[in-house]
Amino acid sequence: MATIRDVAKEAGVSVATVSRVLNDKGYIHEDTRKLVNEAIQKLNYKPNEVARSLYKKKSRLIGLLLPDIRNPFFPELARGVEDEMQEQGLHLIIGNADEKPEKEVEYIQTFKQNNVIGIISATNHADTTPYENLSFPVVFLDRTTNSHPSVYADGLDGGRKAAQEIIKRGSKRIAVLRGPNSVRTAQDRFKGAIEELCHANMDFHVISSSFSFSDAEKVAETLFEKYPDIDGVIASNDLSAAAILHEALRVGKSIPDDLQIIGYDDIPLSKLLFPPLSTIRQPAYDMGREAAKLLIKTIKNEPLPEKNIKLPVTFIERQTTRKVEKND
């Protein structure tokens, strides 16, 4: 691989001159710049990013912090971030914080030590202390905060929509799964749902649950024992909806006749469930893209038309909810 020395020799200039051309710093005669660029092309020289980053005090690395890439909502989100970053010549270091504050702090430290030029954080904790006083910008993703720029979906509206749609389709005894307390987006959708249920004078059960797989299975196993008469479930995400659907079929319920279920997220496999899951769709990929764009704008010191971007959610009607008459 060609080095900066080879380029300097080929162009007949000093290494410092090549460096000035590369970093676009200081005065360079146009002819010299041309000579250097020709040498770079001829030798197919690729500057060492670490050396450049030290010189310019900048890298092309972005830190992306996720709760857990194994939750099927996050790969979509991460791809959205990656695709936008890649188009801008930036690269991702990814960390999974596992909803553990100490792991989150550790990864922020790691990102710092690797001279990232920005962080996108999609972790769940409301506390933003570890993100204060960093020398580079932070954008929160799938998480709302006033202290930093952020991109999130409209959870309050999502919860309302879920409740409206299940009520409209005739469920009377509804269970609402309340996602993790510490996750504001989960609480937003929960708030939206109970607001709407109260508004409609419905009775309902609140079931506490996390977003994790194994928890969803446990909740599903006891749900129909505890509440044998429920005819509707508003789940906190698609994973828990899938677990409940699965258990409902196992105990012989007919879906959607005996029980309607509405999920949240619209992860890729939701449409492959049987029956395919009706759900509230969060635009995960677009959220990732938007967060990347917002971070890049912040890094470039460009003005932000909106500091906190709220994306709309939509009801995806599939077959775990009944059809509604057109003239309802």
Which residues sit at the interface with its own copies, rule CB under 8 A?
1, 46-51, 53-54, 59-61, 68-70, 72, 74-76, 78-79, 82, 91-96, 109-110, 112-115, 213, 239, 242-243, 245-246, 249-250, 268-269, 272-274, 276
Q: Smallest distance, Å, CB 3 to its own copies?
A: 12
CA distances from 159 to 52, 128, 190, 273, 282 (A): 48, 25, 6, 22, 12
Q: Smallest distance, Å, CB 178 to its own copies?
A: 21
Q: Smallest distance, Å, CB 115 to its own copies?
A: 5
> Which residue number, 77 or 309, has a Cβ lying nearer to its own copies?
77
Q: Smallest distance, Å, CB 84 to its own copies?
A: 13
182 sits in which H/E element? none
Cα–Cα distance between 226 and 168 in angstroms, integer? Answer: 25
> Which residue number, 58 or 191, has a Cβ lying nearer to its own copies?
58
CA distances from 102 to 47, 112, 162, 199 (A): 36, 15, 35, 41
Query: Which residues 6+ apart lie within 8 Å of 9 measured at CB?
Result: none
What pairing do the DSSP bridges indicate for beta strands 308-311 and 150-153?
parallel
Q: Smallest distance, Å, CB 94 to its own copies?
A: 5
Cα–Cα distance between 273 and 99 in angstroms, integer? Answer: 28
Cα–Cα distance between 269 and 152 in angstroms, integer? Answer: 22
Cα–Cα distance between 148 and 134 in angstroms, integer? Answer: 12
The answer to whether the beta carbons of residues 279 and 241 sit under 8 Å apart is: yes
> Which residue number, 36 or 81, has a Cβ lying nearer to its own copies?
81
Q: Smallest distance, Å, CB 169 to its own copies?
A: 21
> Which residue number, 80 or 155, has a Cβ lying nearer to its own copies?
80
> Which residue number, 79 or 322, has a Cβ lying nearer to its own copies?
79
